[in-house]
Amino acid sequence: MRRIVVMAAFLLAATAGAVPGAGYKVTRVVEVGPAVGLACGGAVKWSPDGTRVAYFANNYLMVSDTLGNSRQVAPISSGLYPMRAEWVSDNEFAVNLGDRLNTDSALYRLVVYNVLEGSERLVQECWRTPWSLLPGHTGYDGPYLTAEGNAYYIDIVISGLEEGTFEDRLRSSVFTTTKLPLSSSKAAYLQSNHLQVWGEDGLYLVDWSGGDSIRLCEDRATNALRMGTAVSADRSWIFRRGRLINRITPDTIDVASFAGEPPPNTEGCGFLSITFNPNGEELLFEHFCEGGETYVVNRIATFDYSTNEFTLLDTLTGIQGGTFPVYAPDGRMIAFFAQNKAYIIWREETQ
C-alpha cells in the first residue's frame, strides 16, 4: 500500500503589513515545504480552481492546499526528472519526465496523474538518442497550455529516407506535428482555443487549427524576448523589453523606470516569469539583477499599472531570492519558489 504523508503547514508572520501605495497587504506567508524547480522553468503550479498547488519534492509529486497541508500523490519513476508540468483539470496533473543526465539514450515519459487517487496514465513515451531525429521515429513535446488555459501536447512523427547514410537520412527528415488534448472531455472545446506562437517577425495569436492569426507584437523572436514577454488576458496590454504597451491606445508605461536603484553590487536588472493578474491591472514577475558573471540577485515584485506602484514582495515577506512567481486563478494569492522551498502568499486589498 502506498504510504501517504501529511505535513502540517508552517505559517510565517509577514515582516511588514502594507507598503504605502501598494494597494494590498500580505496577511500570511505559508511555507508549503521543500521543493525542486522544473527543468524547463517553473516550480509551483496552481490548480484551475485555485484550491491547491502541485510541486515536486523528494522524488514525489506533491499536492498542497493553500494552508500548506501537503501530501504525496505518487512517486516519480526512478532516474527521471520533472521537465515540464501543467494541470489538466482540478483532479489531473500532466508531467513530462525525462532522463536529463543521459545524453546517449534518454527515456522521456508524458504521464497524467490523478491527484485524488494517486494513479497514473501514460500518454506517450520515447527514447531520445543520436538517431531519434531520423525518419521512422516518433516523439512528443509538452505539456503546454492554450491561451485559454487548457492543457495539450504535441505528437511528433518523423518521415523521410528509411535507408542511406546517417547524414542523408537526417537531412531528409520531415517533422509532422499534431496538437492533441490531454483530456478527452475538452477535445471539442479546444477547437475554439488559441495559441501564442513566436514567428520570425513577432508574436502571433493563432487559432487551434493554425488558420487565423493576429500579430500581437513586431519583434524578432530571440530567446531573451520570448522569456521576457507577456500578454494580458483581454490582449489589450503586452509587456516586453521592460515596458507595458497598450495595443489599443498609444499608452506606454516604462515599468523598469519605477523599479528604483538596482541592489548593491549589481549593474542592471531585467524581468522574467512575467504574468498579468487575471482579475486586475497588475503584473507579477521575477526581477533579476546581475553583477559580474556569477552574481545575480533574484526578487519577486508586482506592478500596479493603474497607479504605477512597483512593490518588492521580498520586503513584505522577508524571504529573499524568490523565483517563478505565479498568480492563483483569482489573482489574490501568489505562489513562488525560494531557497529550495515552495511558498504561498495571501494578500488583502487595502484600497
Residue 266 pLDDT greater than 70, yes or no: yes
The three three-digit cell numbers of residue 267, written as one number = 549593474
State the pLDDT at residue 293.
Answer: 65
Instruction: Flag whether 1 is in a domain.
Output: no
Judge whether 337 lies within some domain.
yes
- What is the pLDDT at residue 155? 93
Tell how far CA 306 is from the center of its chain. Answer: 25
Neighbours of 323 (CB within 10 A): 19
**Count of domains forming the chain:** 1
Least confident range of 12-21, 78-87, 317-326, 341-350: 12-21
Q: Is residue 152 part of a domain?
A: yes
One-character DSSP codes across 171-230: HH-EEEEEEEES-GGGTTGGGG-EEEEEETTEEEEEETTS--EEEEE-----HHHHHT-E
Report how far apart, in Å, the C-alpha atoms of 259 and of each of 59, 291, 300, 308 are.
38, 17, 12, 10
Better-scored residue on pLDDT, 84 or 228 = 84
Residue 306 has a pLDDT of: 92
pLDDT digits (tens, 9 = 90+) for 140-195: 999 999 998 999 999 999 999 988 888 888 889 998 999 999 987 777 777 889 89
Confidence of residue 225 (pLDDT cuts 50, 70, 90): low
pTM confidence score:
0.87
Residue 101 belongs to some domain of the structure: yes
Percent over 70 (pLDDT), the chain? 90
Q: Which residues contact 225 (CB under 8 A, 6 or more apart)?
A: 219, 240, 241
Q: What is the mean pLDDT of the chain?
A: 86
φ, ψ (nearest 5 deg) of residue 79? 85, -5
Using alpha carbons, select from 71, 66, 58 the residue that is nearest to residue 30: 66
User: Is the pLDDT assigned to residue 18 strictly greater than 60?
Assistant: no
- Residue of 85, 101, 81 whose CA lies nearest to 93: 85
Distances (CA, A) of 212 to 29, 154, 189, 198, 215: 44, 20, 17, 15, 10
With pLDDT > 90 as the criterion, what percentage of the chain qualifies?
Answer: 50
Per-residue model confidence (pLDDT) at position 351: 67
Instruction: Give the pLDDT confidence score for residue 286 in this predicted structure.
Output: 92
Reply yes or no on whether the pLDDT at 47 is more than 90: yes
- Residues 50 and 24 sit within 8 Å (Cβ to Cβ): no
The 8 Å CB, 24+ separation contacts for 175-180 are 177/141, 178/154, 179/152, 179/153, 179/154, 179/155, 179/208, 180/152, 180/153, 180/154, 180/155
Mean pLDDT within 262-285: 89
List the domain range (segments joined by +) for residue 170. Answer: 6-349
pLDDT in the model for residue 68: 96
pLDDT at position 40 is 84
**CATH number where 280 lies:** 2.130.10.10
Q: What distance in Å separates the CA atoms of residue 67 and residue 85, rounded to the nearest whole number? A: 22
What average pLDDT score do residues 120-133 get? 86
**Cell matching residue 160:** 523521410
